[in-house]
Structure 1
Amino acid sequence: MKGRVPFLRRSPAEGRTPLTAGARRVIALNNGFQLLFNLLWWMPVFYAYQRQAGLSDAQIFGIQSLYYIAFCLFEIPTGLVADRIGARNCLRAGAVVMTAANLAPVLSPDYTGFLVHFLAIAAGRSLTSGAASAYLYDALHAEGADDHYLHAEGTARALGLAAKVMCWPLVGPLMALSRPTPYLLSAVSAGASLACVMALPRLVGAESGGRRSGVWREAGRALRQLRGSPWLALVMVQGVAVFTLSRICQVNLFQPILIDQGIPEPSHGGVLAAVTVAEAVGAARPQWLGRKLQPLTMVSVLSLAMAVSLAGITLGGPMAAVALLCLFSAVTGFAYPIQRKLVNDAVPPGAPRATLLSVESIIDRAVCALVAVAAGAYLSAGRMDALLWRSAAVTAAVMLAVHLAVLIGRPRRPRPPRAAREERQEAVGHA
């Protein structure tokens, strides 16, 4: 339909335009970067590793709290940096910082070393969180391959998850050979991700130094764009609901759910592998959902499915709980690339994309921090069932509010690049 914007268009399941050689190169290098940068070999053992290094539980969880605070504080400044120096340069800086971060526990296996390690990881991930998505989106647009963004984002996420499933079981045997191996391998992976970024093509105009305005002026411009685009704010609210559910389940509630269901601890690794595979499959194939629903509606339906899956865990036994966790992860995999494309399409033309994506990220993590505190209170009171059911209810309320705002307010929607290009081509054809 002429004039219809793409974040309300149905996601194409087929018929994408052929990829150019440049677009293929960008996608391949992005896949490599996302896989290697996020491949943290130490993730399954970092708690035990720090305990063996002499840290107390209070010190370990204190470092984790500082990590989340640092991540929130770094998000906006690093988004501004990405918009000022170019997303590709920001990715390079992030890879360098991440490489150094993973070496800190090897060089100083004590409280100070682990604190520096996690603070540097917060900085490295903040440098890349908005910049990676912004670079991929802009690079594919420059190659005329906008409709490949959804598949490219999902494939990169799926490959990263698959790599974790294959590599994490090797951590135990490798540590038996050399205790610091997980951190050394993580540093090697981060260094290899830098090689991928160095090979990424330069985007025309993105790193030319044309942005002479000050950092605070850039921040003010981003906030004005957000305030002047109610549609973008609504899409961000919807995304926060998706990512909060995902992180709370996969990080905070995963083991408590298994323990509550009586699943023995030695089996937890196998369950984690199963749910990771399920998420990887969903992330790799968002097009399986077809074209029957608009993207905004699709994300809402998937969010509700995630919430219902969590609530349903309270009604069955251990096998049902594992099956529902796998379903939850598969739906999360489907939702992630669709929501990423939705929010990227909602960014107004000319707006500081990486900064605005960082705004979404900082809101997401702030909400996660609040929900994690509430989840801890529920678990301490032995009210797991109430927590899961109320999570489903809150998610349903948020999705209803988003759609009511769309129906009642009719927020003005920015014209996306692809729709504008199609209309120009049509006008030329009629001329």
Structure 2
Amino acid sequence: MRVSLWWAALTYLVPIYPLYAVLFADTGLSGAEISLLFLIWSSVSILAEVPLGAVADRFSRRSSLVGASLLQALGYVLWITLPGFAGFAVGFVLWGLGGALESGAFEALLYDGLAAQGEESTFALVNGRVTAVNLLTELPTAALASGLFALGGYRLAAWVSVGVCLAAAWVASRFPEAVRGADGDELGYVEMLKVGLREAAANRVVRRAVIVVALLGGLDAFEEYFPLMALAWGVPAGWVPLAMVAIPLAGAAGAALGGFGSRLRTRTLGVLLGVAVAVLVVSGVLRSPAGLLVVAGFYGLYQLVLVVAEARLQDSIEGPARATVTSVAGIGIEVSALAVYGVWAVGEVFGVAALVALVALLLPRWLRQAPVVERLPQ
């Protein structure tokens, strides 16, 4: 539990995060080149997601987390030593591979670790606290980035980011990794990949949970528009960061309630998400700085439902390819994020609210509260 919280904090306490887009522009890259870098990053993440999830299942999920942080650190080293499009592109390839390594491995490692102790029912509680730490870490990260940039520019922020990634790798190496059953040990890499894909596609309960998590996770792309909403709703540009502080705080509070939410019926979760839709519509009607507080209410409810949905997905997985199945949901999240960008272009807040309403309607039928069974030796 404590290890996972330290790891969560370090993976987000990376001061280059708020600065890298500006770094690219100041290096002389055009808007088209910067967009191409982001496309490279996303493409690598999507293509590597499931294959590297199977690597974690076949070999070691803990080692996957360690490798993810090391690849990210190496990417930042390239940004510092080879500033320019080529160096930035290779750095993003490494970061994309690291993100794909981490994506399915963490939840699988955490869930099976808890299951080995007979505590898999606490997954929503623990994972919710991890998510809360991630969200809360956004605030000091922004302040740290500003301070380091003032002292030593992009280079200092990037070198500190390398150090933070190395620290995260060390913390990841301290995760306990449960001994898996003979079924997982006997499978080769290709067989493990097939097992995970088959379970995600053929098991109806798992398939529906994967789709729900993908749709819910993709909705988090909405946060990219929070600064634009603040500006459009009358917040002066200099006050935008402060005006949005309540949103990650509310999200952290909602995620931290994941343990409570895991005891709710799926129909109740659908109702909560429906309330979140109504709250979001109200914010769009207000279109004022006060509306950001209403958005914070939406974000808190959304994070609560997302954490529970992730737990229900883990409960439904029965085979040894847990990270692979989770990675399939990760690809779905990337795809559904594109839908968020599309509906924002058409209807802004109201378009996003309509998409959330669709997920709320699917939730009661598609996210079953699967019984937790003993799958690992005690």
TM-score by length of 2: 0.91
Q: Which 5+ residue runs of structure 1 have no aligned equivalent?
A: 1-26, 379-385, 422-431
**Residue matched to 1:54:** 28
Sort the Cα spacing of 1:127 and 1:405 in 2 relative to 1 into closer, same or farther, 3 A: closer
Sort the Cα spacing of 1:309 and 1:414 in 2 relative to 1 into closer, same or farther, 3 A: closer
Point out the structure with the larger helix share. 2
- Which of 152, 155, 171 aligns to 1:178? It is 152
Residue 271 (1) aligns with residue 243 (2): yes
Aligned residue type for 2:98? G
Residue 366 (1) aligns with residue 339 (2): no
**Residue matched to 2:288:** 318
Aligned residue type for 2:199? Q
1:243–1:364 contact (8 Å) kept in structure 2: yes
Q: For 2:131 and 2:362, how far apart are their aligned partners in 1? A: 29
Offset of residue 212 of structure 1:
3.9
Sort the Cα spacing of 1:138 and 1:103 in 2 relative to 1 into closer, same or farther, 3 A: same
Aligned residue type for 1:183? A
Offset of residue 357 of structure 1:
0.2
**Residue matched to 2:275:** 305
Q: For 1:263 and 1:207, how far apart are their aligned partners in 2? A: 58
Q: How many residue pairs align between the two structures? A: 375
Three-state SS of the structure 2 residue aligned to 1:75 is helix
Find the structure with the greater CA-based Rg: 1
Residue 395 (1) aligns with residue 351 (2): no
**Residue matched to 1:255:** 227
Offset of residue 130 of structure 1:
0.6
Three-state SS of the structure 1 residue aligned to 2:244 is helix
Q: Which 5+ residue runs of structure 2 have no aligned equivalent?
A: none
1:85–1:207 contact (8 Å) kept in structure 2: no
1:347–1:414 contact (8 Å) kept in structure 2: no
Offset of residue 71 of structure 1:
1.1
1:278–1:326 contact (8 Å) kept in structure 2: yes
Aligned residue type for 2:180? G
Q: For 1:153 and 1:231, how far apart are their aligned partners in 2? A: 21
TM-score by length of 1: 0.80
1:311–1:392 contact (8 Å) kept in structure 2: yes
Sort the Cα spacing of 1:290 and 1:134 in 2 relative to 1 into closer, same or farther, 3 A: closer
- Which of 42, 49, 53 aligns to 1:68? It is 42
Sort the Cα spacing of 1:373 and 1:110 in 2 relative to 1 into closer, same or farther, 3 A: farther
Aligned residue type for 1:175? F
Aligned residue type for 2:351? R
Aligned residue type for 2:258? P
Offset of residue 220 of structure 1:
2.1
Percent of aligned pairs sharing the same letter: 22
Sort the Cα spacing of 1:414 and 1:260 in 2 relative to 1 into closer, same or farther, 3 A: closer
RMSD: 2.5
- Per-residue CA deviation, residues 275-312 of structure 1 (Å, 9 max, x unaligned), is 11221222223345584x31x33442343333333322
